[in-house]
Amino acid sequence: MDIARLFLWIICTSCPIFLIRAASVSFRNNRGWITISSTILAIALLISSFNSNLAALIGGILWIFFLLIPSIGFSQVNRLTHQHRYREARQLASYLRWLHPADGWQERPKLLLALELAQRGDFCEAITIFNSYHKNNPSSIRHTQALIYWMKSDWKNCLLWFQQQIPKKVLLNEPNLLIYYLRTLGETGDLNSLLKSIKLYRKSLEKLDNVQRDRARMLALAFCGQVTQVKQLFNGSLNGYSENIKIFWLATAQMVAGKTEVAREQLLSLRMSNDFILSNAVEWRLGHSLAEPTQVLDSIARDIIHQIVTEIEQELKYKNMTNFKSKKLYVTNGLITINFIFFLIANVLGSSEDADTLDYLGALIPQKVWLGEWWRLLSANFLHFGWLHLTINMLGLYFLGRFVEVAIGSSRYLTAYLISGVVSMLAFSILTIQFGDKEQLLVGASSAIMGLVGVIVAMFLRDWWKEKSRIASKRLSFVLLVVAIQFLFDFTTPEISFLSHILGLVTGFTVGSIFLIK
């Protein structure tokens, strides 16, 4: 398999993913992404019908400039916006909008300029810009009105506006507006409605990115005095928020939790901030008492906040499992080293793409295994056909292996890896002798790596089944999507063995399930 073919496959899988994601969030608000993804996919497929190399080149250029760069760049704009770094966000958006002049990005610099002016205290000029922003777009009008209330911390009038002007249907379809509604409920002390709205509009919140979803949870946790969980969010997905914003919301949580003096000192330290939007929020917080959760929450709301706290704890568990900085991952590093050593030996003796050299070093050939050369069931897992084959497999081993090694321990991880590789090679040999080419040559660590995927599936399935963990359910869905894409790749690439991959997956799942039984 050459690079052009691999890149073409990446284009043909990532474009549909962009399409599905954009359409599921909001077809109307993501028509630009949908159009661009569809166009790039159509061009790549059309050209590939007569020249795959040219399709990879043209499709790749279009993919990089109109999907990859804008998606990374717009994520950075959103990150800067969350940090209240509006000037930098505006400057970046002014360049990126020409790569993606749709879905509101052409006007985004104007909106960020208004926020920048408001941050400096020029509210009149900011409101003028807001009022001219998308005059004929009801959704934009609603969003800018919510922004005006937010800038001024005018939460009482904001609540009246939501109650009188914004029906439930609008909140269901506009999750970004929903964030302002949730904050309004918290600021005005209606904690029961805040928590019940998070549950009621959960599907709408799922359409937002991770930062915005966790912002909604952070609001609930802060207004309910859950200081520890607010800190955990700020150490996780909300880590990109500015220090002043973190201080403000931690002080809010502490104030609700009864640490009034500490909270007031922290808020007073923000009072003279150059950020006038934040200064308004501080003045409101100091001048209005917060609701006491123990006195106002009903049983349903208490259950909801308990569920949110439980979710945060489950996420922290998975985060600790992916924190590799302080862990010595001897098995993963050792396996990668062995694979590279075998690759170097193959190239010294001849070539890693030479069948005779691979045969000499122990490639799997079912007929020879049947005649007694059982060691090939193990050695074949450490041989690779060319540098591209090796690179793809080692990247997979590096990312998946570290997670599994931390999750189940080094000895179990190595056992699962070797059993998955050897058993899948044995089953492949038996099936091939019975129904296929007995002289077929097979090499690669992919069967053992798919075994690691099977272990991960078993792990997430157990957590979802036993703990009803939403994060385990989401990650399980993601892993299954990756498996489906991998099998699609196998079917469209004759050089890759679909059979050995599915055998490795099933073996890994079985071994992982046994290891996880308590």
pLDDT category of residue 518 using cuts at 50, 70 and 90: low
- Of 144-148, 256-260, 474-478, which gets the smallest average pLDDT? 474-478
The reported pLDDT for the residue numbered 375 is: 93
Show the tokens assigned to 307: 């569920």
What residues are paired with 513 via a beta bridge?
none
Catalytic residues: 446, 501
Region 158-184 average pLDDT: 93
The reported pLDDT for the residue numbered 305 is: 94
d(CA 232, CA 218): 10
Q: Which is nearest to 181 in space by CA: 283, 86, 168?
A: 168
The CA-atom distances, in angstroms, between 158 and each of 47, 275, 386, 479 are 54, 21, 63, 42
**Higher-confidence residue: 283 or 320?**
283
Residue 124's H or E segment, with its range, is: helix 123-131
Count of Cβ atoms closer than 10 Å to residue 213 Cβ: 17
On the question of pLDDT at 367 being above 80, the answer is: yes
CA 7 to chain centre: 22
**Higher-confidence residue: 444 or 250?**
250
Question: How high does pLDDT run on average in the chain?
Answer: 87
Region 455-462 average pLDDT: 89
The reported pLDDT for the residue numbered 486 is: 66
d(CA 88, CA 78): 11
d(CA 320, CA 463): 15
The CA-atom distances, in angstroms, between 46 and each of 42, 115, 194, 253, 345 are 6, 44, 51, 56, 42
pLDDT category of residue 284 using cuts at 50, 70 and 90: very high
The reported pLDDT for the residue numbered 494 is: 52
SS3 364: strand
Phi-psi region of 103 (alpha: psi -120 to 50; beta: other; left: phi over 0): left
On the question of pLDDT at 401 being above 80, the answer is: yes
DSSP 298: -
Q: Which is nearest to 282 in space by CA: 253, 248, 243?
A: 248
Q: Domain locations in the chain? A: 1-106, 138-321, 330-516
The reported pLDDT for the residue numbered 480 is: 77
- For the chain, the C-alpha Rg in angstroms (whole number) is 28
* Whether 96 contacts 73, CB under 8 Å: yes
Q: Report angle CA 323, 328, 334 to the nearest 5 degrees.
A: 120
Q: Report angle CA 366, 487, 378 to the nearest 5 degrees.
A: 35
| Architecture of the structural domain at 330-516 | Up-down Bundle (1.20)
For tokens 């009801």, the residue is: 138
Q: Which is nearest to 82 in space by CA: 254, 210, 273, 187?
A: 210
pLDDT category of residue 493 using cuts at 50, 70 and 90: low
Phi/psi at 493 (nearest 5 deg)? -125, 100
pTM of the entire structure?
0.77
Of all residues in the chain, the percent with pLDDT exceeding 70 is 93
Q: Which is nearest to 252 in space by CA: 284, 206, 276?
A: 284
d(CA 237, CA 219): 14
Q: Please, what is the end-to-end C-alpha distance for the chain in angstroms?
A: 43
* Whether 164 contacts 158, CB under 8 Å: no
- Of 77-86, 88-97, 224-233, 285-294, which gets the smallest average pLDDT? 77-86
d(CA 56, CA 60): 5
Show the tokens assigned to 416: 């699962």
Please write the tens of the pLDDT for every residue from 185-238.
999 999 999 999 999 998 888 888 888 889 999 999 999 999 999 999 998 889
